[in-house]
């Protein structure tokens, strides 16, 4: 019987490689609260990513909530409707109103040309998302933010290892938040990090994620419990040893898909990312109206063959009940985002996916 193929499967190194880390944790009995693996992992990530300051957290969503608190964001924030719900939910949890603007159809990231028309006296920030590992137009967003005195936060959940000509894309914005969830290209089972521009901001973030504690008796912030455990940090240290090989294998899978699907009538591929930018975190296709069957029919056909793709992101955030009443969420304001949500299908991609399985998946798509 053919094994099911899921859209994302976590990379797991051999168990015996993780056991020495667990033995050390069991031996020193330090499980959390900024233990030795936590400290080592923060520094190792800074070195690997080429950033100066980074604060680990228990997951990417708490990272977004904390980043908004750290920057004192209030009122309205301009953001994308085309993302995982955590992007907008982090705003609501901070009692901030999301203001949705449309996306660029080429990259499916926030369209800078739509931002200025949405700015009001209550706007305090822009929350943009590097979608599928494709970076936003960071220069255009920064120029708009500087012109209007706005903060910029990047939801970089998909962007681990993504680079531009100047280095890691995580260096952009006032804060950048990355996810280490098990489905990401780099993961710690659960986890995340906030990339900070300077040591002072990192200290502020460190206080917020740990109840506001400075020391045993000093509390300076109304913080939360957003710390990463020693087990997660240890696993992250191990994963860093394998990440370059994992990204290289993903690159081969991406290339195989592109070669096989290029020119298929009714299937649109996003432009191949520049080598400096790519992490191949997802492989989205857009099922156009002239394809032989609908996107949802193709989704079901793949499932019937044991291939579990994902309509990611569908439904659009703006169409969920807690957002659909907002003026900015109305369909006429978001034609590109709604079109993408109704066409997108992410095919399986992960480092252990064989080229034979890629061929099998492509044959199902092309034979639809």
In this prediction, residue 273 has a pLDDT band, given cuts at 50, 70 and 90, of: low
pLDDT averaged over the chain? Answer: 96
Which of 205, 240, 275 terminates a domain? The answer is 240
Kindly tell me if the per-residue pLDDT of 17 is higher than 90: yes
Residue 219 in any domain: the answer is: yes
| Predicted confidence (pLDDT) at residue 235 exceeds the cutoff of 70 | yes
42 & 179 share domain: yes
The answer to whether position 283 is within a domain reads yes
Are 168 and 51 a contacting pair, CB within 8 Å?
A: yes
One domain, residues 141 and 195: yes
Q: Do residues 328 and 281 make contact, with C-beta atoms less than 8 angstroms apart?
A: no
* R_g of the chain computed on alpha carbons: 21
At 234 the three-state DSSP class reads helix
Return the residue matching tokens 């509390």: 219
Structure tokens at 359: 């061929």
Burial class of residue 97 (count of CB atoms within 10 Å of its CB; 0-12, 13-18, 19+) = middle
Q: Are residues 300 and 350 in the same domain?
A: yes
pLDDT, tens only, 65-96: 999 999 999 999 999 999 999 999 999 999 99
257 lies in the same domain as 109: no
Overall residue count recorded for the chain in this entry = 368
Strand duo 163-164 + 167-168: pairing: antiparallel
Half-sphere exposure (Cβ direction) of 105: Cα atoms closer than 13 Å: 10
On whether residue 29 sits in a domain, the answer given is: yes
Query: Are the CB atoms for 364 and 329 separated by under 8 Å?
Result: no
177 and 61 Cβ atoms separated by less than 8 Å: no
pLDDT at position 277 is 72
C-alpha separations of 345 from 269, 271, 297 in Å:
10, 15, 11
User: Is 88 in the same domain as 232?
Assistant: yes
Q: Are residues 269 and 222 in the same domain?
A: no
Between CA 278 and CA 272 the distance in angstroms is 8
pLDDT of residue 263: 93
Is residue 167 within 8 Å of 50, Cβ to Cβ? yes
Mean pLDDT (whole number) for 282-297: 97
> Which residues, including other chains, have CB under 8 Å from residue 229's CB and lie 6 or more apart?
31, 32, 58
Q: Report the candidate in 161, 157, 158, 163 with the shortest Cα–Cα distance to residue 177.
A: 157
* 116-161 pLDDT tens trace: 999 999 999 999 999 999 999 999 999 999 999 999 999 999 999 9
* Inside any domain, residue 5: no
Same-domain check for residues 229 and 274:
no
Q: Report the pLDDT value the prediction gives residue 274, as an integer from 0 to 100.
A: 63
Residue 297: which domain range?
243-366
Domain count, the chain: 2
Q: CA 159, CA 193: separation in Å to the nearest integer?
A: 12
- The pair of structure tokens assigned to 245 is 């090989």
SS3 97: strand
Residues contacting 225, CB < 8 A, separation 6+? 58, 209, 210, 211
Nearest alpha-carbon partner for 25 in 242, 233, 239:
233
The reply to whether 198 and 96 lie within a common domain is yes
pLDDT score recorded for residue 307: 98
pLDDT, residue 1, reads 47
Asked if 115 and 250 sit in the same domain, the reply is no
Q: Is the pLDDT of residue 191 over 50?
A: yes
Distance, in Å, from the CA atom of 321 to the CA atom of 92, rounded to the nearest integer, reads 13
């Amino acid at each position: 019987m053919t094994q099911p193929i899921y859209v994302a499967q976590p990379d797991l190194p051999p168990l015996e490689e993780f056991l020495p880390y667990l033995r050390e944790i069991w031996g020193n009995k330090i499980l959390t609260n900024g233990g030795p693996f936590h400290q080592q992992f923060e520094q190792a990530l800074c070195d690997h990513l080429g950033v100066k300051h980074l604060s680990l957290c228990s997951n990417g969503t708490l990272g977004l909530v904390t980043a908004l608190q750290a920057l004192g964001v209030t009122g309205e924030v301009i953001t994308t409707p085309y993302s995982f719900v955590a992007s907008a939910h982090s705003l609501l949890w901070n009692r901030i109103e999301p203001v949705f603007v449309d996306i660029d159809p080429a990259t499916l990231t926030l369209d800078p040309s739509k931002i200025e028309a949405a700015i009001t006296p209550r706007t305090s920030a822009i929350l943009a998302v590097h979608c599928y590992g494709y970076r936003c137009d960071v220069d255009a967003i920064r120029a708009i933010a500087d012109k209007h005195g706005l903060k910029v936060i990047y939801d970089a959940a998909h962007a681990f290892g993504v680079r531009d000509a100047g280095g890691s894309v995580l260096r952009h914005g006032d804060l950048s938040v990355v996810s280490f969830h098990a489905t990401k290209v780099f993961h710690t089972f659960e986890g995340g990090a906030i990339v900070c521009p300077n040591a002072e901001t990192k200290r502020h973030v460190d206080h917020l994620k740990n109840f506001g504690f400075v020391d045993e008796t000093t509390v300076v912030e109304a913080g939360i419990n957003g710390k990463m455990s020693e087990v997660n940090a240890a696993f992250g240290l191990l994963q860093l040893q394998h990440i370059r090989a994992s990204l290289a294998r993903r690159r081969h899978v991406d290339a195989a898909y592109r070669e096989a699907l290029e020119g298929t009538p009714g299937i649109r591929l996003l432009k191949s990312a520049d080598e400096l930018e790519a992490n191949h975190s997802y492989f989205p296709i857009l099922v156009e109206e002239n394809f032989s069957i609908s996107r949802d029919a193709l989704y079901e056909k793949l499932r019937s063959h044991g291939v579990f793709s994902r309509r990611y992101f569908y439904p659009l955030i703006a169409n969920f009940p807690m957002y659909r009443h907002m003026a900015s969420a109305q369909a006429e304001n978001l034609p590109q985002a709604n079109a993408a949500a109704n066409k997108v299908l992410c095919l399986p991609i992960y480092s252990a996916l064989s080229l034979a399985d890629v061929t099998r998946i492509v044959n199902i798509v092309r034979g639809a």
